[in-house]
Each structure stands twice: as C-alpha cells, then as structure tokens.
Amino acid sequence: MKSVAIVLSAGVGRRMGADIPKQYLMLGDYPVIYYCLNAFEQSPVDEVILVCAESDIDYCRTQIINKYQFQKVKAIVSGGAERYDSVYRGLQEVSEDTDYVLIHDGARPMLTVDLIRRLLTQVEKEKACVPAVPATDTIKVSDEQGYAVDTPDRKTLWMVQTPQVFSCDIVKTAYEQIYQKPSPIPITDDAMVVETYTNNRVKLVMGDYSNRKITTPEDLAIANYLLKIQ
C-alpha cells in the first residue's frame, strides 16, 4: 500500500507576531517544520509533498530538505489563498498509484511515528480517519452578541488534530467538489471536506495531547518544554 503525506507550510502565522512564518522559527536546534518532516521520514509513509508559499520554495529546498537530507520529499509546491487551496495543489502532485493520503499541518512539530502508524492501520479499515483528543474544558456555544446559549456535553466533544488520513480516491473526489459546489460555511479541516462532499464517515482515532499546533508564542514555549522532557 502506497501512502503519501502532504505537509502544509504556506501559512503566514500572524498571531505569532514574528518576522518569519512560525513553521520556520527555531524549536530547540531545528526549525519547527523539521520535526514533522523527520517523523514522516522515519515512518512507513512512502513520499512527502511539501506545500509552502511560492516565495519560500527555494528556502525550503536548500535550508530544509537538502540541509537535513530528507529523502522522502518528492515535490515542493506553492500554496493557495486558503488552506483548502493549498491541499488541493498538493493533491495534484499525488500519483495515481497512491492508496492513502495523509494531510498534516507543518506547525505541529510533535508528531510521532507511533501516531502515523496507528492512523495508517486504522485507515485501511475506515477509509477516512483523524487523530483527536477528548476536550478537557467545558465548551460554550455563543450567540452573535457573545452570550452563552448552550453547553454541549463534554463527553461528545473532541479536539481534532492532524495528520488526517484518507483513501486517495475519496479525498481527491471531495476536494474536486469544493470548486464545483462551494461550501456555504468556512472549511476548517480536511475531514469537513470529506464529510460535506462524500458519503463517507470519518473515524476519530485517539491522538496525542502533545501534538499541538503552534499558533502563539505560548505554544512555542510549550513545544520547547515538551521537546526537552521527551
């Protein structure tokens, strides 16, 4: 079974407040993006497609891929205006003989080979699965004025992570539909695309609380701490 990972690294990261995109900030001895690429390099995944800003392609090639000798990165492509545009462009590089596609945020550096293996095992049974962890806080639903109007049962709430993994034909078909029938609500993750445009259900697989997305300076500090204790 051939599997290909699409790593998204085209985000600007305005909430980080840094001069460079968050995925290229240093985390320990390496850039943030290094860690997930290294996890895929050590995993059963066959190929990696890196999606970044067009202006960052040369930097990624020389300072990330070549410098750290990542052998599985087969293509570097420019991202689009929205996350789903970047995923779509990455999917165009996925060969027809691919069975499964993993889609991962490059700003999640604490990805482990164990999680990748578990997702690949599960996707063979379910065709579509995502890592997630149970919500630990109470969640409120608000109205347009910011008043709480509902409190969902926390036992039913999960915080979704990446990599999200799908059969290649399912995810490609779903993403083709976005441009033919645009969603009336914002698309926030790949599972939502599959849920909206196909009849496939998405299985939640236990993720890892350390598999956090770096969005703010506090997230970077937490990742540094996790890196040290691991």
For residue range 99-156, list pLDDT tens digits in order.
999 999 999 999 999 999 999 999 999 999 999 999 999 999 999 999 999 999 999 9
201 confidence band (pLDDT: 50, 70, 90): very high
Whether 19 has a pLDDT exceeding 90, the answer reads: no
Mean pLDDT of the chain: 94
Domains and CATH numbers, the chain: 3-127+165-184+209-229 (3.90.550.10)
Whether 12 has a pLDDT exceeding 70, the answer reads: no
Q: How far apart are CA 92 and CA 95, in angstroms?
A: 8
Average pLDDT over every residue of 157-162: 98
Are 68 and 38 spatial neighbours (Cβ–Cβ below 8 Å)? yes
The phi and psi torsions of 129 (rounded to 5 degrees) equal -150, 155
